[in-house]
Amino acid sequence: MPLWKYPVHVLAYGFGTGLVPGAPGTIGTLVGVAFYWMMAPLRPLYYWALTSVLAIAGVFICEQTASDLGARDPGMIVWDEIVGYLFAMYRLPRDWRWLAAGFVVYRLFDVWKPYPIGLIEEGLGVGVSIMADDIVAGVYTWCVLHLARRAMRR
């Protein structure tokens, strides 16, 4: 199935970054960095609303693409990483140090999958499970980064 024939696949593959061999999730997260860079100037309510819309759309995007590929959670689907990173960066400064810290911490949580992230995928629909573990990794990252930011202010 050609990538560019179906717009939902273009989104699921992170505009092609999910097709990079080796570390598609890591490369796909860079698209999340670009999204964050564009969205960070938004008022917090608008940022949160747009991120929520992207997450809800992600359930459909990921489920449809996984179904078309005949797999439960193919690595080439990176929309979940893009959205997870947006959750991680909510209300953080639009500064390269925070972008880098968010990238590293988010990828660690996404790969490591500490409790209960590893359990989240069980018993959920395909689209929800693909999105949910990355969103929780993003929330964990958000907590770590905001604690670090608070500690640095003292």
Tens of pLDDT along 53-102? 999 999 999 999 999 999 988 999 999 999 999 999 999 999 999 999 99
Tens of pLDDT along 101-139? 999 999 999 999 998 888 887 778 999 999 999 999 999
Q: How confident is the model at residue 2 (pLDDT cuts 50, 70, 90)?
A: low
Amino acid code (one letter) for 64: Q
Pick the closest to residue 13 from 45, 4, 132 (CA basis).
4
Q: How far is Cα 140 from Cα 36, in angstroms, rounded to an integer?
A: 17
Q: Name every residue whose Cβ is closer than 8 Å to that of residue 18 and which is 6 or more positions away in sequence.
A: 12, 24, 27, 28, 75, 76, 77, 78
The answer to whether the beta carbons of residues 63 and 127 sit under 8 Å apart is yes
